Amino acid sequence: MITNLSYKVAILAFFSSIPYTLGETVVLANCQGNSGKWSEIAYYSGGPTGNPNAIVVVPGTSGGTVWWEGRSVSATFTDGNVFTSHIRGDSSIPEGGYAGPGENLYQGFNCFHHWVPNLYQSPQGGSCGQIYYCNHDAPHDGLRIDFDVWKETVDLVGDFNPYDVYGKVWDRYRTPFFDNSAVQLTDLCSISFEGHGAADNVNGNMAKTLQEIVGKRDEAAKKATSSICTKYRPIEHGQKECIEWGTRTVTTMPKTIKIDAVNIPNNGGAPGEAGYLTTTITCIDPNGVDCNLCKGLSGALGLFGLVGEAAAIWGFAGIVTSAVCASQGC
């Protein structure tokens, strides 16, 4: 009788003891031995070689292997962590191609089709071959970058370069979740970043997209310069007059911009989220509204010419971009 047990290797970590591990891999395997055929889900803390760190038999497969495609398949490890795969229900997934998402209780995975016979020996007394593997790599079938620009604006007192402002993202860059604590820009204004990437490289690519693409657009900010008095002298009757003049620059920027990275399978499968990054500038003074800034920046971010810039950041050519001024009334 097949039991739901976990196989451990000394020193190596259990599946759910580390919520997110760079390089970890989950293998969806079909097995065969003296007791028949069955399916297992195996966890590796690194690449899928040798004995897995943990193994669980997929429920209900004691009489044969599971049908992985076109359905959700879940199995619970002995420590309580659950892994669920959502392999696409079609027969056109190429070898090495993106096959669908998966997740455990902590983190999303991306699954790929790659057949490896006799990958490991099951403690059930048989040999298991890899059908699919799941990790944190981004699928390379296609990617759509969506930019949402809000019409609400903030005024930063000073001559600010959007490239430098959005470059603050690196102060809060983390994997898989950004640190959303605020970074001060001025005494009255701060910037914060909230986001999550489904793969190891997604957060870095979204941060680069924010700084290198949004931050370099001329439409990312408006600047106004005015003359202000910097020094007065008292005159009669309690009045005063200006004796020195200076200039004051105010940089107006969108209060909020959101970047969504969406995986697009080549064979028409359902899109899946690769990650998102929401950037918010908060100032003590009341917010303004500038539909022209909102429309201008969203128009610049939706240009076809950005595809080359995005491809250079994300590392492959199958990219499209879209952008909207995500505010009613503009």
Percentage of residues in the chain with pLDDT exceeding 70? 86
- Chain-centre distance for alpha carbon 76: 26
Tens-place pLDDT, residues 125-152: 999 999 999 987 766 667 889 999 999 9
The predicted pLDDT at position 91 comes to 65
Sequence-distant (6+) residues with CB within 8 A of 95 are: 113, 114, 115
% of the chain residues with pLDDT over 90: 56
CA distance 243 to 231: 6
Select the highest-mean-pLDDT range: 50-64, 185-199, 266-280: 185-199
Average pLDDT over residues 215-232: 94
Would strands 183-184 and 189-197 be described as parallel, antiparallel, or unpaired? antiparallel
Amino acid, single-letter form, for residue 217:
R
pLDDT of 16 reads 31
* Enclosing H/E stretch for 30: strand 25-33
The arrangement of strands across the sheet holding 272-283 comes to 183-184, 189-197, 272-283, 256-263, 143-149, 319-325
Q: What is the pLDDT of residue 1?
A: 31
pLDDT for residue 311: 82
HSE at residue 163, side-chain half, CA atoms within 13 A, is: 5
78-82, 101-105, 179-183, 207-211, range with the lowest pLDDT: 101-105
Give residue 12's pLDDT: 26
pLDDT for residue 314: 83
pLDDT of 287 above 60: yes
Q: Are 44 and 24 in contact (CB under 8 A)?
A: yes
Residues 210 and 263: their CA atoms lie apart, in Å, by 18
Residue 2 has pLDDT above 60, yes or no: no
Contact 95, 71 (CB under 8 A): no
Per domain, the residue ranges of the chain are: 25-135, 143-325
Q: What is the pLDDT of residues 9-53, one digit of tens each?
A: 222 223 333 345 667 899 999 999 988 999 999 999 988 999 999
Res. 7: pLDDT tops 50: no
Query: Is-contact 215 162, C-beta < 8 A?
Result: yes
Tally the residues of the chain: 330
Check if the beta carbon of residue 102 is closer than 8 Å to that of residue 108: yes
**Average pLDDT over the chain, rounded to whole?**
85
Unique residue bearing structure tokens 């593997």 = 133
Residue 22 is predicted with a pLDDT of 64
Task: Please state which of the ranges 50-64, 87-101, 170-184 shows the lowest mean pLDDT.
Answer: 87-101
Q: What confidence tens digit (pLDDT) does each residue in 149-184 have? A: 999 999 999 999 999 999 999 999 988 899 999 999
pLDDT above 50 (res 6): no
**What's the pTM?**
0.60
What pLDDT is stored for residue 187 in this prediction? 94
Residues 297-316 have a mean pLDDT of 82
- Residue 5's pLDDT is 32
